Amino acid sequence: MLLEQMPELAVWDVEIIGSDFSPAALERARSGCYTHMEVNRGLPARELASHFRRKGLAWEVVPQLRRRVSFRLINLMDAWPELPRFDIVLLRNVLIYFDAVSRRTVLQRARQVMRDDGFLFFGAANYHMV
């Protein structure tokens, strides 16, 4: 989305770090392959055509996007590893699994890895919890 909305970013060093506490989930994400059902859950056809290629019965993320993404094993409740300062942090719908004290801890840690002018995005399920 960033590259489509702001083509000038193509010359920037844009890196995406995905994280999870499940090694199996990370391995699945690293594969870059998704079933037809997975890509049809809210991904517009235009983006599917732009960012994925058919691989048998699955869809695979295109190389130019895959090379910008890395994955890290991070348990949000444990001490976080050394991370770069982020312009954007997305927490999606993860906070729904934590109590109020734990949510505060996660948000404080997220703030510590964000640039001063960075942005924090939540999934809709998190919106009323913070």
CATH number of the domain that residue 104 is part of? 3.40.50.150
Q: What is the pLDDT of residues 69-101, one digit of tens each?
A: 999 999 999 999 999 999 999 998 889 989 999
* pTM reported for the whole predicted model: 0.81
What is the C-alpha separation between 11 and 128, in angstroms, rounded? 37
**How many CB atoms sit inside 10 A of residue 79's CB?**
7
Q: Indicate the number of domains in the chain.
A: 1
58 inside domain: no
122 inside domain: yes
Q: What is the pLDDT of residue 129?
A: 54
Smallest Cα–Cα separation from 114: which of 78, 90, 79?
90
Parent domain of 26: 2-31+65-129
120 inside domain: yes
114 inside domain: yes
Q: What is the pLDDT of residues 25-41, one digit of tens each?
A: 999 999 999 999 999 88
